Chains A and B, each alone.
Chain A
Amino acid sequence: MTDSPKILTRRGLLGFGGVAAGGMLLSGCDKLLQSDKVNGVVRSAENATYRWQRLIGRDALAREFTAADMSPVFKANGTRDPQEPEYVAHAAEKFVNWKLAIGGLVSNPMTLSLAQLRQMPARTQITRHDCVEGWSAIGQWTGPQLGLLLKAAGLKTNARYIVFHCADNYGGELSKGGAQSTSIYYESIDLVDAFHPQTILAHGMNGAPLTVAHGAPVRMRIERQIGYKQAKYVMGIEAVSSLAGFGSGKGGYWEDRGYEWYAGI
């Protein structure tokens, strides 16, 4: 009870200052976005999330549903009809001359035709696709496990990531905001997800061959991550030790535009 009224007033004003600053936060604090230091701290959360999720569920399986749970219409998003001449030519031939290249840090680089991929032992799974925008859809996917292909190719010991090279030159979407530039779509994952049993190269969807809108001839299913990781129109798979040499070096088309590389959230 030694505080004098004068001090009380000063402290009260301090409190008001705090509230006023809070009130201006949302309108004025877009300036915070220009600070590299602030962005560095904010982006550190991604690594915390990545480590935490690997800790609690490194080998956990994504929930699988029954045919009765499936979405009546599975929304096609992102590129729906690639216009690149090479892809257009493959699509016109129903992908009979298309080949998937597996290379990089592997002992046995190889190419596989769509027919060869379809002959491989396949996994069929009904899973939920969670788009980064907020919508979800449940569909059925069929294809060989990526782990099987990587074992056949023989990963070298310094391989740390798997990069997926796609056919589509994507132009971005206004709904996701910011200045979106055009570039070839690509994605990447760590080896935990690469060898996860539900990580497959889907050539079938909902009991039929994969359609162009959904990524024909094959797309990735990485079931414990957000939709933009599920690369469509996969042309090549490359084992690498670093993501620095691809795109802007962040590990994917959307990652180069600010999105999390680890998209388990």
Chain B
Amino acid sequence: MATTATPATPYLFHRHALVTRITHWINALAIVFLIGTGLNIFNAHPALYWGQFGADDDDARRWLEIGSADAPDGSAYGFLRIGSLTVHTTGVLGLSKGSNGQPSAIGYPGWATFPGVRDLATARNWHFFFAWVLILNGIAYYAYGLATGHLRRDLLPRLKELRPSNIVHDIVSHARLKFPKGEESKRYHILQKLAYGATVFVAIPAMIFTGLGMSPGINAAWPWLLELFGGRSSARSIHWIAANFIMVFILVHLLMVILAGPYNEIRSMITGKFRVDPEKA
């Protein structure tokens, strides 16, 4: 793009490369299934521990639990327990309406899991299939992003962008729902870079490496991987934390797509073309 003046009328800009678009949608499909199956797998033992091991009797190692219990009046309730904090979560976590309409003692509710009923075998089959998809797709994306400079150029924050004043400015713009126009709309700003960067460079690699580490076969072949995370039960905890980060990212990402203009944003990830609106004088 030459440094000509911004045209007064909207024009289409080629924003996303074909490889980016294809890997984005494969990634989206894989992650939707990985989350749904992951929640189903979690339901088989809805508790998390720190260290090399953790099971029912290891109270000191358990830092999170989703379950159900009976109140003094005999009524059942669902709860989420983190450390010494217990929150009642009836209807969503621990106790929710099952497929038969009756209250069911289950970690995550059926509407959030895949399959929609308790089925550890099927959830595992599908989780490991989409784990392969995620890894192979991720390798393609990374190879492309490194070779073309896309990751460094578009996602890696620059030092001056990390200045507090710039971050505050971007937070204020987002809070006022003022999105960049003109030339400025063609690049990612610091909050976008931090959100996308944390997902692409930290959360998804953390999911993959903690997931691989939990496999006893991989653990034998690459014992250093699990030690990196402090043991198997710690890796499982970090796997869950990173999954939660990704779930929050997806919600914010979808919200921002809607707020910024869903036609233009979704089209740019399908056809690559992004409409650049002129800046108002």
Contact residues of A with B, CB < 8 Å? 1, 3, 8-9, 11-12, 14-16, 18-19, 22, 25-27, 29-30, 33, 39, 41-46, 48-49, 53, 56-57, 60-63, 65, 69, 71-73, 75, 128, 130-138, 174-178, 223-226, 254, 257-260, 264-265
Contact = CB atoms under 8 A, between A and B. Distances in A.
A77 to B, nearest CB: 9
Interface string B1-44: 00000000001100000000000010011001100100001101
A10 to B, nearest CB: 10
B124 interface: yes
B129 A41 contact: yes
A136 B237 CA distance: 13
B40 to A, nearest CB: 8
A265 B215 contact: yes
A254 to B, nearest CB: 7
Interface stretch (B52-60, B160-168, B170-178): B52-60
**Minimum-distance CB pairs A-B, first 5:** A57-B221, A264-B217, A15-B266, A258-B121, A177-B118
Interface string B237-281: 000000000000000001000000011101101110101000000
Contacts of B45: 131, 133-135
Contacts of A30: 114-116
19 contacts: A3-B12, A11-B271, A18-B266, A26-B116, A42-B129, A56-B218, A57-B220, A69-B52, A71-B57, A72-B58, A73-B56, A75-B55, A75-B57, A128-B53, A133-B120, A135-B47, A138-B52, A176-B44, A176-B120
Contact of A16 (B33, B118, B119, B262): B262
B125 A15 contact: no
Contacts of B42: 134
Contacts of B215: 53, 264-265
Contacts of B115: 30, 33
A11 to B, nearest CB: 5
Contact of A57 (B12, B217, B273, B275): B217
Contacts of B267: 8, 11-12, 15
Given A26-B112, A132-B44, 9 more contacts: A1-B12, A22-B32, A56-B218, A57-B218, A134-B44, A134-B236, A224-B217, A259-B121, A265-B128
A12 B263 contact: yes
B128 A46 contact: yes
Interface in B172-230: 214-223, 226
Contacts of A73: 55-58
B121 A176 contact: yes
A174 B267 CA distance: 46
Contacts of A69: 52
B55 A258 contact: no
A33 to B, nearest CB: 6
Given A3-B273, A60-B220, A265-B217, A9 B263 contact: yes
Contacts of A53: 215, 217-218, 221
Contacts of A137: 53, 55
A176 B58 CA distance: 21
B86 interface: no
A265 B11 CA distance: 50
Q: Which of B55, B226, B262, B273 has the most chain A CB atoms inside 10 A of its CB?
A: B55
B263 A177 contact: no
B269 A15 contact: yes
A61 B222 CA distance: 10
B138 to A, nearest CB: 16
